[in-house]
Amino acid sequence: MPELPEVETTRRGLAPHLIGRRILAVTVRKALRWPVPDELREYLPQQRIDAIERRAKYLLVHTQAGSALLHLGMSGSLRVLPQETPPGLHDHVDWRLDSARILRYTDPRRFGCQLWQPSGETHPLLRDLGPEPLSDDFDGDYLWKLSRGRAAAVKLFLMDQKVVVGVGNIYAAEALFAAGIHPKRAAGQVSRERYARLAGEVRRILDYAIARGGTTLRDFISPDGAPGYFEQELFVYGRAGEPCKTCGAKVRAITLGQRSTFYCAHCQR
């Protein structure tokens, strides 16, 4: 699933092609995770795109009438293409723009979504989300205070979208490794000092992954068709049985919360 750096890469790639453009028509060929609401087709045409914002792993395309709420799901991608480009089997939604181009949503698994948020409202999917990991609201003190008394594994705590948004499986594993924290350690047993280091590593790794274009795993490609490059620099994720790049011990794999978790037992305590 595309994580925060991939979604932010998509936002940055789309912005120059969309902001200031007018949407002329919306074509929906197939339903996605949820049916595309009638409001999207009714209100978006003739609207000017004023801004594109990322909230967690969602993209918000803002217009005067309201905002389109987009999620890439497991395998979705957004591309700006020439208007005459014929649709393929997995090309499900097109926005026709006044630039003689289209914004095309492609999704082989159709787990993504395109929803509608009326002007001045917050969509229910966004209401209970935690702070952004790259914002001033997120730091070690925040994590330490929120974790007191929690017995859940620290990796699951870090991936809880009500705690902090956008830290998915890949980047949680990498941040915990960089901070030297075992992913199974109870969240309430991690010290304030170690949370300060973890918050710093989350921020550093996400910033670096965004700069590198995200992580290409299976399906993600950026709006210009280029892959992300952070995958080449992963320390533990997907490296079970390979030597740790720091100490040489074998990277281990376990399952936490039904997700594969990778760590080094020597470097992480």
**Residues labelled catalytic:** 2-3, 57, 259
- Which has the closest alpha carbon to 146: 199, 86, 75, 110? 199
104 is in an annotated binding site: no
Quick one: which H or E segment has residue 176? helix 169-179
The rounded distance, in Å, linking the Cα atoms of 57 and 224 is: 19
- Beta strands 252-256 and 91-97, pairing class: unpaired
The rounded distance, in Å, linking the Cα atoms of 208 and 87 is: 34
Query: Which tokens sit at 123?
Result: 């969509």
Q: Supply φ then ψ for residue 256, to 5 degrees.
A: -130, 125
Query: Which tokens sit at 119?
Result: 């002007």
Query: Which tokens sit at 40?
Result: 């999207």
Query: Which tokens sit at 255?
Result: 């399952």
The rounded distance, in Å, linking the Cα atoms of 235 and 263 is: 9
Asked whether 13 and 226 are in contact (CB, 8 A), the reply is no
62 is in an annotated binding site: no
254 Cβ contact list (under 8 Å, min separation 6): 183, 184, 260, 261, 263
In whole angstroms, what separates CA 2 from the centre of its chain?
A: 5
The rounded distance, in Å, linking the Cα atoms of 79 and 243 is: 38
Q: 260 in helix, strand or coil?
A: strand
- Which has the closest alpha carbon to 55: 150, 138, 104, 122? 122
Residue ranges at the known binding site for DNA: 90, 109, 150
Residue ranges at the known binding site: 90, 109, 150
